[in-house]
């Protein structure tokens, strides 16, 4: 490990840290104008820097909260802007930054963290696991026809760019975050979203759905074409709803927009049944399935106790080399989670525990690839039921 120290960033160092992150992602340095737009996104006291004789690495987080299986909500750190200068990589700088950040989370009583990873090989060693996966889909607008029993939907009204910018936070905040893994949007996130919207080269439109009880969903999109003669794509930027009626009603609206060949939506919940709205489900194709959210249980005992379980008890033995205090055995049952000295039914590492925690993977599937060790199939069947959730997890928020 090379000689460097890690400390909290001062506010006058935030711009250099953001530029360092951008350089690490091969993006250009910010102009003064860009920094003025981005600066409000920086939640004070949440950035860390690694220094030798100058800044060589950084990461930060936003305060949030996350929905858990069973409907509970717990504080969450949304980790972002992770980067190490290209001439200082692979000498432990990120490892030092991660340690400092976890210590900060523990000191502030934040039991979990989530991030979106640029590469899949980086974060497992720090105890993060792929807890949420998502699919990208494409709908053939000319051929997709609604089944007769698909909900009719309610009233649609349209917002332009300025109204979208103004109303996005209240539209999002008013909808329940029902799926495990959904997070609250910190006020610090909205300036970045506004910036993205304003960079669109074609008009931004939001369709707001109003059902019997008022506004219960919205979809924001742009319509683009790569070049003359190419198919016209309606690209969904954001799609949230609180009822089956809003889900179907907004899709009905999207298919009614003229001069569109295909509709694309990225990072949707794995079990969102868009294709089942249509007479021929093959007019919806899944383009990609990818990891959406990497979860870290910073305080394993607290997080295991914060979600609900179904079925017969299971004892798990967790190994957590990066946050050793989490290592140990826990008895999980419908009554909750407690530390125990009973023999373990299942053994797994902290990153694998993160993968099963929100219900995104079954313990038996992880056992099949050697990531969970179990006393037998009976224990795995109990664990599958215990960790299972009614719906797939989804984050639905980029940060
Ligand atoms: C990813 C990044 C932050 C890692 O920083 P770093 O200081 O090199 O990481 P560390 O030296 O602490 O690495 C710790 C371990 O992870 C491994 N590792 C780190 N980044 C890795 C990567 N991208 N792929 C594979 N392994 C990686 C290291 O080899 C090291 O392994 P070891 O302990 O067995 O030697 C840095 O490479 C970077 O800035 N990349 C470009 C920007 C980026 O992708 N940021 C992440 C945004 S989510």
Question: Is the per-residue pLDDT at 134 higher than 90?
Answer: yes
Q: Please give the pLDDT value at position 312.
A: 97
Residues 200 and 312 in one domain: no
Residues 15 and 58 in one domain: yes
Would you call 41 helix, strand, or coil by DSSP?
Answer: helix
Residue 236 in contact with ligand 1 by CB distance below 6 A: no
Residues 257 and 156 in one domain: yes
Which residue segment(s) compose the domain that 224 sits in?
134-293
CA distance 168 to 220: 9
For residue 233, what is the enclosing H or E element?
Answer: strand 233-241
Residue 121 in contact with ligand 1 by CB distance below 6 A: yes
Residues 177 and 269 in one domain: yes
**pLDDT tens, position by position, 367-385:** 999 999 999 999 999 999 9
Residue 322 in contact with ligand 1 by CB distance below 6 A: no
Residues 287 and 138 in one domain: yes
Would you call 145 helix, strand, or coil by DSSP?
Answer: coil
Active site residues per annotation: 123, 399
**pLDDT tens, position by position, 275-291:** 999 999 999 999 999 99
Residues 18 and 68 in one domain: yes
**pLDDT tens, position by position, 93-120:** 999 999 999 999 999 999 999 999 999 9
Q: Please give the pLDDT value at position 163.
A: 98
Residues 263 and 150 in one domain: yes
Residues 239 and 327 in one domain: no
**pLDDT tens, position by position, 310-367:** 999 999 999 999 999 999 999 999 999 999 999 999 999 999 999 999 999 999 999 9
Q: Look at residue 107 and tell me if it is in a domain.
A: yes
Report the number of distinct structural domains present in the chain.
3
Question: Is the per-residue pLDDT at 2 higher than 80?
Answer: no
Identify any residues that bridge with 214 across adjacent strands, giving them in sequence order: 211
The per-type count for the chain, helices as H runs and strands as E runs, is 10, 17
Rounded to 5°, angle at Cα 322 from 321 and 326: 70
The residue with tokens 């120290």 is: 5
Residues 163 and 262 in one domain: yes
Residues 286 and 322 in one domain: no
Q: Look at residue 398 and tell me if it is in a domain.
A: no
Q: Which residues contact 66 (CB under 8 A, 6 or more apart)?
A: 73, 74, 76, 112, 114, 181, 182, 183, 184
Q: Domain of 48: which CATH number? A: 3.40.630.30
Q: Which residue, of 293, 326, 344, is where some domain finishes?
A: 293
For range 164-181, the mean pLDDT: 98
pLDDT band at 1 (very low <50, low <70, confident <90, very high): low
Whose CA is closest to 200, among 229, 235, 168? 235
Task: Look up residue 46 and give its DSSP letter.
Answer: -
**CA-proximal residue: ligand 1, atom 41 (nearest):** 24
CA of 119 to the centre of ligand 1 (A): 9
């Amino acid at each position: 490990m090379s000689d460097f120290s890690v400390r909290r960033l001062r506010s006058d160092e935030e711009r250099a840290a953001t530029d360092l992150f951008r350089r690490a992602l091969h993006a250009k340095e910010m102009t003064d104008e860009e920094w003025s737009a981005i600066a409000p996104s920086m939640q004070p006291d949440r950035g860390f820097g690694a220094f030798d004789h100058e800044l060589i690495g950084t990461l930060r987080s936003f305060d949030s909260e996350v929905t858990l299986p069973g409907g509970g909500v717990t504080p969450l750190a949304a980790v972002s802007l992770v980067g190490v200068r290209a001439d200082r990589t692979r000498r432990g700088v990120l490892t030092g930054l991660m340690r400092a950040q976890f210590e900060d989370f523990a000191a502030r009583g934040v039991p979990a963290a989530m991030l979106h990873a640029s590469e899949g090989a980086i974060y497992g060693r720090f105890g993060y696991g792929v807890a949420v996966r998502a699919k990208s889909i494409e709908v053939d607008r000319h051929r997709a026809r609604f089944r007769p029993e698909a909900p009719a939907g309610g009233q649609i009204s349209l917002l332009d760019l300025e109204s979208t910018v103004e109303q996005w936070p209240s539209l999002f905040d008013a909808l329940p975050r029902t799926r495990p893994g959904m997070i609250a949007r910190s006020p610090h996130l909205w300036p970045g979203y506004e910036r993205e919207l304003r960079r669109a080269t074609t008009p931004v439109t939001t369709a707001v759905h109003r059902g019997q009880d008022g506004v219960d969903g919205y979809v924001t999109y742009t319509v683009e074409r790569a070049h003359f003669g190419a198919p016209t794509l309606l690209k969904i930027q954001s799609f949230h709803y609180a009822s089956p009626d809003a889900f179907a009603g907004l899709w009905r609206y999207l298919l009614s927009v003229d001069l569109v060949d295909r509709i694309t939506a990225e990072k949707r919940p794995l079990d969102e049944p868009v294709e089942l709205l249509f007479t021929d489900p093959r007019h919806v194709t899944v383009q990609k399935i990818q990891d959406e959210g990497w979860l870290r249980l910073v305080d394993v005992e607290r997080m295991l106790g914060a979600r609900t379980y179904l079925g017969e008890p299971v004892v798990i033995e967790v190994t957590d080399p990066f946050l050793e205090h989490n290592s140990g055995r826990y008895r999980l049952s419908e009554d909750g989670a407690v530390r125990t000295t009973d023999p373990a039914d299942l053994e797994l590492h902290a990153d694998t525990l993160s993968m099963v925690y929100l219900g995104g993977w079954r313990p038996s599937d992880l056992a099949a690839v050697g990531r969970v060790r179990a006393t037998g199939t009976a224990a795995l069947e109990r664990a599958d039921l215990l960790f299972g959730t009614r719906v797939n997890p989804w984050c639905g928020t980029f940060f």
